[in-house]
Structure 1
Amino acid sequence: MPLLSDLRRRGWTSWAIWSSPRPAIVFLLVIDLVAFAAAAWSVVVPMSPGDLVECLGLVGLGMAAAEMTRQVERRRRRFSDTPHVNFSSVWTLAGALLLPPALAALVAVVLYLHLWLRSWRGVSGIYAYKVVFSNCNVVLSCLVASWTARYLDLFPPRADRGAVAAFGLMFVIAVYFTVNSALVATAIALIKQRVSAKTLLGPLNENILELATLCMGTLAALLLARLPWLVVIVFVPLYALHRSVLIRQFEQAATIDSKTGLLNAASWNAIAEAELDRAREHETDVGLLILDIDHFRQVNNLHGHFVGDQALRRIGDALRSEVRSNDLCGRVGGEEFVILLPGTSADTILDVANRIRQRVYDTRIQADETADVFQITVSIGAASFPAAGRTLQELMTAVDNALFAAKDAGRNQVRVVEVR
């Protein structure tokens, strides 16, 4: 591409964007250009002095909210590994509903510039090109939402429209959310290439959080249109929401293994102990599996630790896909995994273990498009509570012995503790 070659000749090769795949670079630049062109074209919509005052007011409110939560936002950004909800959409959507499209775009640009300068700059992994793309994404979302709201004639709100206005506002929220999510998902797919649906769209709670901020933005717009001074009541729940999300991120970081997304050893042990207490109280069965990756050291030595980490992630995905939502999957060692299966009888443990072993056996790992594809296998030990042990330690010891038996039998095997 002549443009990319020209930029490189000028010494801009150090920019992080050039490390992305070429289709991703093209997509990011196209979205940036489309957002700029759409914002420029939107200037044709007439603007009044009152619109300019309202634009300045929204920018001031957005910056005040960002300053109030600046340290919280900075900490949240450090923890974020999925599409990030930064709460600025409260004010950008309000701008889309209240202002001419060009001024709504201006609100988004100024608020994102403020977030970059005050909250995000210097945070590891937050590159300028990502912020520019996110801002252009929000600009396009605002423009589409603004045009939709103007077409539906939603503002200024009228009491005689009632339910019609409510459904119209819900539709605008859906439009904003869909445009924003679709552009983010496309960018992630092009950059990372091999991703899951969860990585593309983000977890459900993050999507609900984004919808909550859009609803707050709609309420802020209604307040600004009718009772402007009451908009200050939005700040308290917005601040509380920021802090509650940060606490949840702290809790997740403390309980989740970063490489696999499974429970870490300490969290797994604590929850497993509680499950066994519950099983003793209600006299129910519990199954336990311990998995160990066969020859994992060779994987790291031959292919590197990056590929080894990829193998760990793939096994984590395989475990989640083969167990129920209430089963407890954890990583307790370098290449060792545990699964607690509440309410699972001794008769079905072998079937579950073999299904997991086969799923891992069918998994193929490839470092990149030029590397060889290789296979990983696991050996699994299995046992049932209370037959194989009354405490978690007794059960773990019994399953460890079964795991060693699976290794001795040639690996890629399942062995169940025999109870006489």
Structure 2
Amino acid sequence: MVGDSTVAAGGERRPGRFLPALVPQRWALRRWALWGLPRRGSVCYLVGVDALAVAAVVLAALRFPPATAVVAPFALLAAGMVVSAELARPVERHREDTLLGPGVDTPWIFAGVLVLRPGLATALVVLSALHQWFRVRRKPGYRQVFGAAATTLAALAAGAFLTATGVRPLGEVLDARTVGLLTVAGLVFLVVNAALVTGADGPRRPREAAPGHAFDAAMTAFGLPLAWAVAAAPLLVPVLAGATVVLHRGGLGAGRRDHVSIDPGTGVLTAASWRGAAEARLDRPGGPGPAVLLLDLDHFRLLNDRYGVRVGDAVLRAVAGTLRDEVRAADLVGRSGGEEFAVLLPGTGPFDAMAIAERIRLRIASTLVALKASGDGPQFVGVTVSIGVAGCSPDGVLADALLAAERAVLQAKAAGRNRTVCAEPGVSSS
């Protein structure tokens, strides 16, 4: 509905807008943004890793079926992981993604590799992914599944290494050989996961990736005392869990971005923090330049006047949530004004930036916020967005890219709104 930002529905639904209530739209396979990726090779790779993880779990579960003796350790690890993840949730929400996705859950998952059968160790990975989805940060569904699949394959590879070497992680004597093999198992866990994620997202600059690698290694190493405590001294598990959370929140996660300011209304970066972080990205030498997206909600003031500020705030939160879902881990999302948002896409060319912007525009146009129910049934309100896209050379000035993107937004507004316009002449989409 080009140029019209409000949609009131009193029982009437747009065709294709809604799925059955029991099937969340994010998890409906046919609606995943995965199928809209510009490179078919990326789609095949992500789906292939997912399929390989499922096959590996089935084979491992058949080869090593769960035993009654490990039910209690599994319950202890699962409970400790959920509780510690809840306590660390304020930090995890704003931690920059590292190559090992589980974050504060990592020591519990690696401990599960050491003390559990493969099937139950995989169950910890699934539980971690579900907690991340419902309580921490929601990524696009296909990315959430891929992250869990990569961690699962890494855990199974580490477990297979331990089985092949015959090491007993919880033996009575931790001699030098055992400690060395446990260290190698941790490295296998880290390297396999990093390789799988790098295959999907491409390599990161060493300077940029080093803090994340250190964080992942520290969290994995903490799984060793956790595994020992689960089997030999269960009462120490809460103590170690508390230590994990304190270290994590106190600075162990060097990849966090809690030093920046978060807009309380939308949960994305404030304008000043976004600009500072974006300029810091431009200061890093090497690699292609980033792209900038500026998004301006169409007729937002009319929406506020008609439905009230509370509904307007709910729409802003919904738009911000859509942006966080649709961008990649390395991208920066900020609120640049009252109804304006900005996105920095590092290492993204004009074609891919336009594809991402179009996907965002379509997702926002299909996002609705429920209004107070009336006698005519439920009502919903939605909003459209005009997007300006501009590229920036590696040694360019951010202000120039923002100015070009702003001019593109004005062109989108003049062309009828609900459009994506690239700052390059003649490249637009509606």
Shared fold per TM-score greater than 0.5: yes
Query: Which aligned pairs between 1:395-414 and structure 2 lie closer than 5 A?
Result: none
Letter in 1 for 2:391: G
For residues 308-352 of structure 1, what are the alpha-carbon distances to aligned partners after superposition, in whole Å with 9 as ceiling and x for unaligned? 33x2xx216xxxxxxxxxxxxxx685479xxxxxxxxxxxxxxxx
Q: Residue in 2 aligned with 1:67?
A: 86
CA distance in 1 between partners of 2:162 and 2:395 (Å): 46
- CA gap of 1:231–1:263, structure 2 versus 1, over 3 A, is same
Query: Which aligned pairs between 1:263-274 and structure 2 lie closer than 5 A?
Result: none
Work out which of the residue numbers 121, 124, 135 in structure 1 matches 2:148. 135
CA distance in 2 between partners of 1:23 and 1:263 (Å): 31
CA distance in 2 between partners of 1:247 and 1:210 (Å): 10
Q: Residue in 2 aligned with 1:95?
A: 112
Query: Is the 8 Å Cα contact of residues 256 and 262 (structure 1) preserved in structure 2?
Result: no
The structure number with the bigger radius of gyration is 1
Deviation at 1:80, TM superposition (A): 4.5
Q: Residue in 2 aligned with 1:236?
A: 242
Quick one: higher RCO (CA 8 Å, sep 6+), 1 or 2? 2
SS in 2 for 1:154: coil
Q: Residue in 1 aligned with 2:159?
A: 146
Q: Residue in 2 aligned with 1:52?
A: 71
- CA gap of 1:81–1:63, structure 2 versus 1, over 3 A, is closer
Query: Is the 8 Å Cα contact of residues 104 and 146 (structure 1) preserved in structure 2?
Result: no
Q: Percent identity?
A: 24
CA distance in 2 between partners of 1:81 and 1:175 (Å): 16
1:40 aligns with 2:53: no
* Count of aligned positions: 263
Work out which of the residue numbers 197, 206, 210 in structure 1 matches 2:216. 210
Letter in 2 for 1:64: V
Q: Residue in 1 aligned with 2:126?
A: 109
For residues 21-51 of structure 1, what are the alpha-carbon distances to aligned partners after superposition, in whole Å with 9 as ceiling and x for unaligned? 2111111111111111110111221432111
Work out which of the residue numbers 171, 174, 181 in structure 2 matches 1:158. 171
For residues 82-125 of structure 1, what are the alpha-carbon distances to aligned partners after superposition, in whole Å with 9 as ceiling and x for unaligned? 7756221111111011111121111111221122111123xxxx
Letter in 1 for 2:112: G
Query: Is the 8 Å Cα contact of residues 122 and 152 (structure 2) preserved in structure 1?
Result: yes
CA distance in 1 between partners of 2:210 and 2:46 (Å): 25
SS in 1 for 2:278: coil
Query: Is the 8 Å Cα contact of residues 256 and 263 (structure 1) preserved in structure 2?
Result: no
- CA gap of 1:308–1:111, structure 2 versus 1, over 3 A, is closer
Q: Residue in 2 aligned with 1:315?
A: 395
Query: Is the 8 Å Cα contact of residues 157 and 165 (structure 1) preserved in structure 2?
Result: no
SS in 2 for 1:250: coil
CA distance in 2 between partners of 1:109 and 1:308 (Å): 38
| Structure 1 unaligned blocks of 5 or more | 1-10, 190-194, 265-299, 317-330, 337-366, 372-420
| Structure 2 unaligned blocks of 5 or more | 1-27, 262-272, 285-349, 355-387, 403-422
Higher-helix-fraction structure: 1
Work out which of the residue numbers 259, 277, 280 in structure 2 matches 1:251. 259
- CA gap of 1:307–1:175, structure 2 versus 1, over 3 A, is same
